[in-house]
């Protein structure tokens, strides 16, 4: 979830969608629970045997459900833009959530509230049918037209946990008290994946919403701190599997279940400060390092980076073809060149000092969506869903798939 804000993002005007109450129609043939595990890279599932993961519940979902062989994300591949794409089906430059936090000129706060959305959401489509909705710490849901809402809002953070006081301040009236009465261990200081799961179990038992959106965060936090695919992150993945099992076991028979994630994850061994490299060369020009990508609008700088990238020791990886820039980030279409970092490298902003620096986090995301092996997850499971696999898919195609499970047409 944590990631440096991309530097080349320009905010458009934001529009709020007024959602009018509609007459209640026939309930959906199947209700739907969408569970997003933040930072669940596809390799945790694909390489489960090589990693030695004890994840019996996810293994059952892979065996009995239907899943894509990886999901290509959206740019930037960070939490809040990606989660909004999952329930709008459009790119961040279209739905308006351009990062986890807004630009400094906009106050620098998180994209908390729905008035910042510029595209219709899946929960709005369900609401317009007169059906019920619920959410557990899904990003950009403060003040949403969600019937039972524990929004993602925090005054304080501790890893993947957010303070209950912050969540409760914008939650649906009485919902925190109801969950606490049902589960006395719920009202601890921190909302973590265990208490998020308790909230899900309560909503399934007491409310049975037609659409329930759930966001688990602890895996992402551990992968940032200790790196992905190692002993610590793998242990959190196994704990997440236990929570997934509790949720799936509690599903009423009329529910379908979708397991998704927002982005892949990479181990980061060093930071390459390209502005330092450029300064050492004596070449002046514009360069914009953004963690998982670097761009320039200057042709001489582009030529310099191409030459530098020929040396494997430079930390500079593949040049991104212009067609890819236009497809995933139209706002980058005017740059002269864009490059990915080499494996286990990210680009830093420093202008002085050492070219290579140690990273502050051992794992990160925010890389270019088509980066090799860097994929997220899409899996669906239910009584009428045939088991099997599908080819690699695009994240923008997930929202229409989820809508079809509910029997909805969604743009």
SS3 per-residue string spanning the chain: CCCCCCCCCCCCCCCCCCCCCCCCCCCCCCEEEEEEECCCCHHHHHCCCCCCCCCHHHHHHHHHCEEECCEECCCCCCHHHHHHHHCCCCCHHHHCCCCCECCHHHCCCECCEHHHCCCCCHHHHHHHCCCCEEEECCCCCECCCCCEEECCCCCCEECCEEEHHHHHHCCCCCHHHHHHHHCCCCCCCEECHHHHHHHHHHHHHHHCCCEEEEEECHHHHHHHHHCCCCHHHHHHHHHHHHHHHHHHHHCCCCEEEEEECCCCCEECCEEECHHHHHHHHCCCCCCEECEECEEECCHHHHHHHHHHHCCHHHCEEEECCHHHHHHHCHHHCCCCEEEEECCCEEECCCCCCCCEECCCCCEECCECCCCCCCCECEEEECCCCCCEEECCEEHHHHHHHHHHHCCCCCC
pLDDT digits (tens, 9 = 90+) for 183-222: 999 999 999 999 999 999 999 999 999 999 999 999 999 9
Q: What does the domain layout of the chain look like in residue ranges? A: 31-266+371-405, 269-360
> What architecture (CATH level 2) is domain 31-266+371-405?
3-Layer(aba) Sandwich (3.40)
Average pLDDT over residues 370-385: 97
pLDDT of 107 reads 86
What's the pTM value of the predicted model, to 2 decimals? 0.93
Over residues 308-327, the mean pLDDT reads 96
Q: Where residue 24 falls among pLDDT bands split at 50, 70, 90?
A: low
CATH of 269-360, one of 3.30.1240, 3.30.70, 3.30.1360, 1.20.120: 3.30.1360
> What pLDDT was estimated at residue 84?
98
* 269-360 has the same fold as 31-266+371-405: no
């Amino acid at each position: 979830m944590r990631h440096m804000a991309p530097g080349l993002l320009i905010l458009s005007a934001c529009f709020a969608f007024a959602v009018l109450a509609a007459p209640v129609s026939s309930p959906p043939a199947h209700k739907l629970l969408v569970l997003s595990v933040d930072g669940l890279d596809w390799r945790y599932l694909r390489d489960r045997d090589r990693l030695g993961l004890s994840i019996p519940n996810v293994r059952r979902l892979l065996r009995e459900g239907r899943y894509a062989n990886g999901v290509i994300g959206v740019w930037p591949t960070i939490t809040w833009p990606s989660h909004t794409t999952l329930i709008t089906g459009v790119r961040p430059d279209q739905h308006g959530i351009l990062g986890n936090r807004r630009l400094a000129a906009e106050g620098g706060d998180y994209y908390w509230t729905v008035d910042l959305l510029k595209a219709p959401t899946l929960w709005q489509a369900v609401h317009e049918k007169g059906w019920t909705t619920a959410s557990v710490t899904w990003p950009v849901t403060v003040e949403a037209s969600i019937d039972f809402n524990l929004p993602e809002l925090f005054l304080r953070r501790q890893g993947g946990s957010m303070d209950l006081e912050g969540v409760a301040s914008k939650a649906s009236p009485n919902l925190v008290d109801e969950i606490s009465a049902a589960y006395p261990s719920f009202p601890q200081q921190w909302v973590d994946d265990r208490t998020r799961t308790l909230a899900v179990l309560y909503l399934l038992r007491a409310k049975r919403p037609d659409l329930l959106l759930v966001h688990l965060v602890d895996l992402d936090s551990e992968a940032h701190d200790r790196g992905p695919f190692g002993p610590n992150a793998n242990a959190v993945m196994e704990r997440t599997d236990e929570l997934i099992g509790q949720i799936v076991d509690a599903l009423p028979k009329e529910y379908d279940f979708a397991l998704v994630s927002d982005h892949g994850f990479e181990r980061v061994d060093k930071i390459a400060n390209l502005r330092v490299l450029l300064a050492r060369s004596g070449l002046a020009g514009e360069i914009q390092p953004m963690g998982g990508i670097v761009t320039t609008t200057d042709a001489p700088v582009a030529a310099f980076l191409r030459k530098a990238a020929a040396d494997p020791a430079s930390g500079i990886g593949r040049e991104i073809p212009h067609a890819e820039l236009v497809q995933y980030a139209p706002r980058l279409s005017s740059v002269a060149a864009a490059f990915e970092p080499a494996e286990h490298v990210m680009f830093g902003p420093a202008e002085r000092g050492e070219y290579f620096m140690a990273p502050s986090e051992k794992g990160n995301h925010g890389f270019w969506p088509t980066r090799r092996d860097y994929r997220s997850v899409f899996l669906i499971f239910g009584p009428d869903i045939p088991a099997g696999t599908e080819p690699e898919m695009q994240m923008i195609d997930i929202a229409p798939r989820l809508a079809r499970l509910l029997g909805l047409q969604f743009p």
